[in-house]
Structure 1
């Protein structure tokens, strides 16, 4: 599609910031509740759940697309404050869809989540028709928002895409000045293991090695966004956007061991469905079990092709944690 301006919400967050870094910054407007991480693009600091504030936003030039990443993504925060979670994740999405209507955009891209699917086993193949059964306020709010995006696509003729991502990791998933704040995310072991590599701390887990996760390097997610922006689509489409492989935590440990040969890595079998030690993020409960997320639809309709395997992605995350800002 020919582009003028692209709005990216959640532009100060992990994925939104990475999208802006990989797009032409002169063509991007970021919207976020927080201040921008850099000053290299136009940034609007506002609360997307404030209907009046969003309705009064003004733009100097045409807007072709909205990439909606802003959300409360912490399952624990959503569960602790359901009202705020629904206000941000659902009402905020409605506000951005209303903005899309007013601007007559040609594409609305919603950053959804694989967390909306029913739990699956490691041998299952999970395509976009897998049963929907979100768990907890986070998953429920994200699926509610995706359903509203679908409704707007058909009833207000806004071509829309939902990208169902899962377990994103990579540079920017945590700020370098807050490495001890481990997020309650399904991808958290990538960060924990990378930090231990950088600090030279051994990785010892008595259980959990067989727990499988579709770890997805952040730049593959950005590639999915770019493909969705360029694709000629109408109505509403949902796509799985992942790294294309379902990795066990044991395989994650092996990847880190190959990058940090001096590190002791000892990971026991079993999974973390019931947890082992809730005071330790490495051993606390992982409520989501995953089969292999099928990305064939995204390959065929979007031309999406992930390029980062687990080792190459972890290598870049480790470099970032060592202070290399160029990854």
Structure 2
């Protein structure tokens, strides 16, 4: 594994940065946006031609819902077309080299309708905003690969909780970013193929955040959305049974087939 080259996109972001930090013993390619602009097909092609890539962890995206609502064209260019540019280059490389390239794609719980909760990987995907639709579009392209893993998740930065109130009636399965990083490490070289929900138990945002910020105050979801340009999920919690079973197998040394 140490000789494998792993391309991590979106490294200036919270997740990409932590993935690089957690894998310092591996050969990580962490290009800047100037070195690899996924929106530019020619730029992506040149990068793949000049670098050996054995695996891709694709984190780059416009993840702020408000930005996707305000500028859906840019969201399409980055989240959908950018992902497709990577997928096309992976397919070309695989055909030329006759070897498989592992592709880990970070998606979102926002591909589900996010009102009923407890969504499984087999449930209908009906996003509730433009961000979710762009991430679902990206998933469609990733499914053209043979050696892929789509991770539907929601994470947060424990030390980055800057607000003073959190909704007690907004439910998710979100987890601290470092837990997601560890999950990605387990899945990277596993034999698992397909889509998987990764998260924790169903809890309100208030329940989750007060663990890390005890003085945070509870509020209602409606109090939060009244000044926002986007809707917030009511219950985006996920059924993570598949992940818990697979995690146990991978931690015990099995390969997750």
Q: TM-score range by the shorter chain?
A: 0.7 to 0.9
1:209-288 → structure 2 map (5 Å cutoff): 209-233=168-192, 236-242=193-199, 244-252=200-208, 254-256=210-212, 258=214, 263=215, 266-268=217-219, 271-273=220-222, 275=224, 277-278=226-227, 287-288=232-233
- For 1:61 and 1:51, locate their aligned partners in 2 and report how far apart those are by CA, in whole Å: 16
Question: Could you give the per-residue CA deviations for residues 134-157 of structure 1, whole angstroms, max 9, x where no partner exists?
Answer: 12221101001101111x22xxxx
**Residue 62 (structure 2) aligned to one of 64, 72, 93:** 72
- For 1:232 and 1:257, locate their aligned partners in 2 and report how far apart those are by CA, in whole Å: 38
Q: Is the 8 A contact 2:7 2:57 kept in 1?
A: yes
- For 2:112 and 2:165, locate their aligned partners in 1 and report how far apart those are by CA, in whole Å: 31
Q: Is the 8 A contact 1:3 1:64 kept in 2?
A: no
Q: Is the 8 A contact 2:48 2:89 kept in 1?
A: no
Residue number in structure 1 paired with 2:103:
108
Q: CA deviation at 1:276?
A: 6.1
Q: Is the 8 A contact 2:111 2:133 kept in 1?
A: yes
Residue number in structure 2 paired with 1:83:
73
Larger radius of gyration: 1
Unaligned runs of 5+ in 2: 95-99, 252-257
What is the root-mean-square deviation of aligned Cα atoms in Å?
A: 2.8
Q: Say whether residues 1:117 and 2:108 are aligned partners.
A: no
Q: Is the 8 A contact 1:10 1:70 kept in 2?
A: yes
Q: CA deviation at 1:238?
A: 0.4
Q: TM-score, normalised by structure 1?
A: 0.67
**Residue 133 (structure 1) aligned to one of 126, 131, 149:** 126
- For 2:128 and 2:209, locate their aligned partners in 1 and report how far apart those are by CA, in whole Å: 28
Q: Say whether residues 1:92 and 2:82 are aligned partners.
A: yes
Residue number in structure 2 paired with 1:184:
none
- For 2:194 and 2:16, locate their aligned partners in 1 and report how far apart those are by CA, in whole Å: 21
Shift in CA distance, 204/62, structure 1 to aligned 2, threshold 3 Å: closer
Shift in CA distance, 26/80, structure 1 to aligned 2, threshold 3 Å: same
Question: Could you give the per-residue CA deviations for residues 288-324 of structure 1, whole angstroms, max 9, x where no partner exists?
Answer: 1225322221233354899xxxxxxxxxxxxxxxxxx
Residue number in structure 2 paired with 1:192:
162
